[in-house]
Amino acid sequence: MSRRKIIFGAIALVVATVLLMSGLLVYLLQSTLGDAAGAIRLFKALHIIKSRYVEDVPVDTLMTGAVKGMVNSLGDPHSIYMDPKMYKEFMIETEGSFGGVGIVLGAKDKVLTVISPIEGTPGEKAGIKSGDEIVKIDGQDTKGLALDEAVSKIRGPEGTKVTLTIRRGQETKDYALTRSNIQIKTVSGKMLPDNVGYIRISMFNENTGSDLAKKYQELEKEGMKAIVLDLRDNPGGLLDESVKVANKFVPKGPVVSVITRDGRRDTSTSNLEAVKYPCAVLINGGSASASEIVAGAVQDTGAGTLVGTKSYGKGSVQTLMRLDKDDAIKLTIAKYYTPKDRSINGIGIEPDVKVELPEHVQPGLEVKDVQLDKAVEIVKSKIQ
């Protein structure tokens, strides 16, 4: 075979491969978008910007922008694109530590809102509360700022400073905070008078279920006769860990059902043969997501009494999906339902016994914690 034929053959092979790959890519896009014109439009926009924009922009930058745009177009504050830095911080946080001021953020009516402060952190010590609206970060207006961008701006190395302008009701105030290394101990507790056990869960990370089991066992050895579970200002976390916790408080049967958009139902259950102790669960406006799973299961099964104020109302499930590099998409993939098939998304859970906490009192083991006092009163009345 002549050299010329070999060269032409090689060229033909390259062209065929390019056409095949292009066709495959268009097919994949078309099958996803359901529209060949949509796939072509995406390529055309990329070509126009890459070839005609006044400055040369890396393709990777353009594609990242496209991914961000797709996620932002969902209008879902819980679905976000995570760049490599944010993804790394998220994984560290899930493991139990990160640099920041210790507040969990969400968005209500497109306003950057504090879901809850984390106990013992600069944010909590400064007096930041669930429901506070963050209107500025270091003087920059947060209107139109994506949730992931806000989180990135507030977090930072230990010892650095950040100023948050917070609106609470009609008042606006600046909070100058020094970032610290946030070490999250999610489970704490002690024995209260009259053998009433008290366990507080600040959030649900990968160790919460096992840590709860240890604390529960300790209280049993001390002679526990009733228990108060404090989920106030608990922003949630890992769904699997909430199910592990529920297995100590909810009788055998469903704990939570996760339903995807195609109607597929996945139900997590409790294996607890019988509820062992009178129980009260404390909730408030900072109790969200995984904490609402536990609270909803306790309420629906009659395993205990909910005390406090209405919860946050986050009844959706997110999963983390890695992209081709060290970035990811956190995407809402389902909604969850309580054992009685209630969806609490955007609604929240009403307590069985409503008790408001005075403005100056933080949830926890405080003398004037009227919510805790009421919960203790309720469980003591049920001790046999």
* 31 counts as catalytic: no
At 261, list the tokens.
């958009």
Catalytic residue among 116, 287, 289, 311: 289
Cα–Cα dist 242/229, whole Å: 13
Number of helical H runs and strand E runs in the chain: 10, 19
257 is catalytic: no
Terminal-to-terminal C-alpha distance of the chain:
96
Q: Report the C-alpha gap between 198 and 299 in whole angstroms.
A: 18
Catalytic residue among 291, 300, 316, 374: 300
Positive or negative CA dihedral for 246, 249, 255, 256? negative
Cβ partners under 8 Å of residue 345, min gap 6 = 313, 314, 315, 316, 335
Axis-axis angle for helices 239-246, 290-301 (nearest 10): 30
Which is the catalytic residue, given 314, 316, 330, 369?
314
Q: Output DSSP code: residue 304.
A: S
Is there a catalytic annotation at residue 289?
yes
**Distance between CA 178 and CA 157 in Å, rounded?**
10
CA of residue 148 relative to chain centroid, distance: 12
Question: Phi then psi for 245, rounded to 5 degrees?
Answer: -65, -45
Distance between CA 227 and CA 280 in Å, rounded? 7
Please report which residue ranges of 73-188 form alpha helices under DSSP H.
84-95, 122-125, 147-154
Kindly list the catalytic residues: 289, 300, 314
